[in-house]
Structure 1
């Protein structure tokens, strides 16, 4: 939707005059935003309910620009389904829905997931959200879709299933049966010291299973540590299907001399018998471990569930703080947008693309901000900058109409033109729901990731992390 009138923001004016922007001002000690955050959660949960089909799967997106009840898209993915599961648990944990409703909704979704076709123990990347069939043509275009098994997307569905089983004991045997064959070594290429390029000790992006054997693999591995696929790594290390030293074979930065956004500083260290390049970048005078593209959800979606900052305060905790500060300063100081928060999202005019801060991503082309601010990025930043995030979201709502009381925040805003997306995406609304749950009831969605293999295997690994920042 377009605003009828587009105003120059107060933040941009202040920056042009050399003053400190509002969102960087010291917060009032008496400021309380708990009621507001709960209101935002309730609207976000309504959007997740609107995204969920009668079949029980959370669809990929809805168009909320018209009148009447929005219709969920035809397609859904494992990530979208996982988002629906944890949003339902969060809603019950916050008292937004009764426990009985949570149990009913979780059971409906688990029943739907049980009916989905799988291969090698994992779920395909695209299904019909209304009947569960595997998509072989794209709904809006008719273009062919080759069924694919994505490591990162399966990680988010497994995350949602673990949260559902933790919240509703009656589902635990059914979820255990679903996860029994989800062996993360399927995606793993063991480390080969004689040829670390062919054998990097990392996870494949995925497989097309329509070829004999394991199927046809992607040409790439997920090598960058500070990206959202590390959730799959943690799950595999926790359940024992991946060796713990897999963690040390991922890149903090690419190695010196390799083509990347900037030449990294740092040093080699040995951890658990692995020679690790502990590299870092410098952005606006601060050292940090970059993500792949410079987006918010690469760095900060995983810690919604795995308490990285608590288990690794001087490495992950410090890096999360600096990553958020870099996003804020890019939007308010470097680019002078007057707003901040950049992450993959719906293009305001339609479509989808990556947005980010180029300088804090390894990829040379980078994810550029392009003036497109994504509300979910501010929610992800709340553990590090809650007051600034709330101020930023208030500004997006007030200056652009990016929020409505029925379904919450729209997916993206071009703050240079005033164009607001017509869509809500399940992934982004799911991140908002999880982030708000963590603020309103800390630890609510983290319980399955603080016990068992996460405590016994993942926590000791994170405790040994020693970023060079």
Structure 2
């Protein structure tokens, strides 16, 4: 199952030409920097941004992937998604904020992408899941196979494009009116099914996975909602709560774990709590003696992509901050101790031999048939862990470079490594490079990409919710 299209959630299983630089601030207390490691992180960022540049077409859209195994200039894939485009936007802002490109170059590149986004066909205020990166046309045939593609409006993919657009608008004031016009019709209530206490399965108070808009009315909805809290679709939840298109109670209708007695990876422990009038099951799992809130599949990006932008550990240190720390430690111990690979970091990525699949630690995901590590280590997962385990993450990445040649100075880290047979992926993916770029920006200039998510509705609506979160861990 492709997580970018259908991340089945617990609810279903249960039933501008200048750079505006924010003041330097850290989401969590930052330890003293080691000068050598900091220089290395800067080198890694520059190479990662070169991959983003190589992925971006003349039209201005960041394509899904490139093959970097050859010696010539790699050719971007035909397809791109809203997530890929968002990655390109925030990576460019990060590059300017870190001095890799100038403010004028940032403005030029952001303007080109915004102009391309303005030309993309939309429905119900949102963008389709797949476009041709060369001209922006909606894909109806998959380029690599010729299979038909039914245009789809994805909740989570639109969240990442909106995230990128918000970051671009903050960094480049000249673009704010145009970006504001693009976002004016992005009403998250389109995806929302209000809570129905008489039938919480049909009315869970959660977001649908998306719609196929080729049917009358709103279109044909997916057969599932995003019910798990600790997964990347919560970015859509935060965006909607912040702009007022979703009620704050939506946050409390998401599952920390599925309820006791439901089929899931392990029987959860926890307590019920009534918060803002909603009865919440504050459940947790235990892995290697460590209590944490699981993700859906057990992968790193589900837990740690969102806090690259929304400062969850700062606003909720005893709950979100604690579970993020324990989640990272669990990934490390799975790779080094439980599986004995000698390396760690597991998240959806390219299969080293070709293709794409989800990788993770099954025991820390709710899905019974979850994501497995299978000896495939994904470098972006280590970058996501930098705030919680900087020393271990840098050491792990150095080892992947030293032992397998997973890094090169042209385009950064390859997407995945099979540490059993030594096979390294030929590809870099825009999504994973975008996460690496954002994670490095947060390490090298804390708060650089977080500024748009610390003010307005994020400060007045989202932060109070996170402050009330207690998790039973």
Q: TM-score range by the shorter chain?
A: over 0.9
Q: Distance in 2 between matches of 1:64 and 1:280?
A: 41
Q: Distance in 2 between matches of 1:171 and 1:231?
A: 23
Q: Corresponding residue for 2:296?
A: 292
Out of 75, 78, 81, the position equivalent to 1:71 is 75
What is the CA deviation profile of residues 408-427 of structure 1, one whole-angstrom value per residue up to 9, with x for unaligned ones? Answer: 00000000110000000000
What is the CA deviation profile of residues 302-358 of structure 1, one whole-angstrom value per residue up to 9, with x for unaligned ones? Answer: 000000000000000000000000000000000000000000000000000000000
- TM-superposed deviation, 1:272: 0.1
Q: Distance in 2 between matches of 1:33 and 1:420?
A: 24
- TM-superposed deviation, 1:32: 3.8
Q: Corresponding residue for 2:286?
A: 282
Q: Distance in 1 between matches of 2:342 and 2:98?
A: 33
Q: Distance in 1 between matches of 2:202 and 2:249?
A: 17
| SS of residue paired to 2:389 | helix
Matched ranges for 1:282-431 at <5 A: 282-431=286-435
- TM-superposed deviation, 1:406: 0.7
CA shift in 2, pair 1:178/1:32, >3 Å: same
Q: Distance in 2 between matches of 1:465 and 1:411?
A: 34
Out of 461, 464, 472, the position equivalent to 1:457 is 461
Q: Distance in 1 between matches of 2:335 and 2:409?
A: 26
| SS of residue paired to 1:287 | strand
Instruction: Give the TM-score taking structure 2 as reference length.
Output: 0.93
- TM-superposed deviation, 1:252: 0.1
Out of 200, 203, 223, the position equivalent to 2:204 is 200
What is the CA deviation profile of residues 386-438 of structure 1, one whole-angstrom value per residue up to 9, with x for unaligned ones? Answer: 01000000000000000001100000000011000000000000000000000
Q: Distance in 2 between matches of 1:97 and 1:218?
A: 41
CA shift in 2, pair 1:32/1:66, >3 Å: closer
Q: Distance in 2 between matches of 1:79 and 1:34?
A: 28
What is the CA deviation profile of residues 98-120 of structure 1, one whole-angstrom value per residue up to 9, with x for unaligned ones? Answer: 00000000000000000000000
Out of 416, 425, 434, the position equivalent to 2:438 is 434
CA shift in 2, pair 1:109/1:31, >3 Å: closer
- TM-superposed deviation, 1:239: 0.1
CA shift in 2, pair 1:31/1:448, >3 Å: closer
Q: Distance in 1 between matches of 2:175 and 2:34?
A: 43
Q: Corresponding residue for 1:9?
A: none
Out of 96, 100, 110, the position equivalent to 1:96 is 100
- TM-superposed deviation, 1:197: 0.2
Q: Distance in 2 between matches of 1:31 and 1:61?
A: 32
Q: Corresponding residue for 2:130?
A: 126
What is the CA deviation profile of residues 42-72 of structure 1, one whole-angstrom value per residue up to 9, with x for unaligned ones? Answer: 0000000000000000000000011210000
Deviation beyond 2 Å, 4+ runs, structure 1: 27-32
Instruction: Give the TM-score taking structure 1 as reference length.
Output: 0.94
RMSD: 1.0
Asked if 1:273 is matched to 2:277, the reply is yes
Which ranges of structure 2 fall in alignment gaps of 5 or more residues?
1-30
Out of 179, 182, 191, the position equivalent to 2:195 is 191
Q: Distance in 1 between matches of 2:315 and 2:297?
A: 25
Out of 145, 169, 172, the position equivalent to 1:168 is 172
Q: Distance in 2 between matches of 1:33 and 1:267?
A: 42
| SS of residue paired to 1:79 | helix
Which ranges of structure 1 fall in alignment gaps of 5 or more residues?
1-26
| SS of residue paired to 2:374 | coil
| SS of residue paired to 1:432 | helix
Q: Corresponding residue for 2:28?
A: none
Q: Corresponding residue for 1:3?
A: none
- TM-superposed deviation, 1:29: 8.9
| SS of residue paired to 2:157 | helix
Q: Distance in 2 between matches of 1:269 and 1:30?
A: 43
Q: Distance in 1 between matches of 2:35 and 2:176?
A: 41
Q: Corresponding residue for 1:10?
A: none
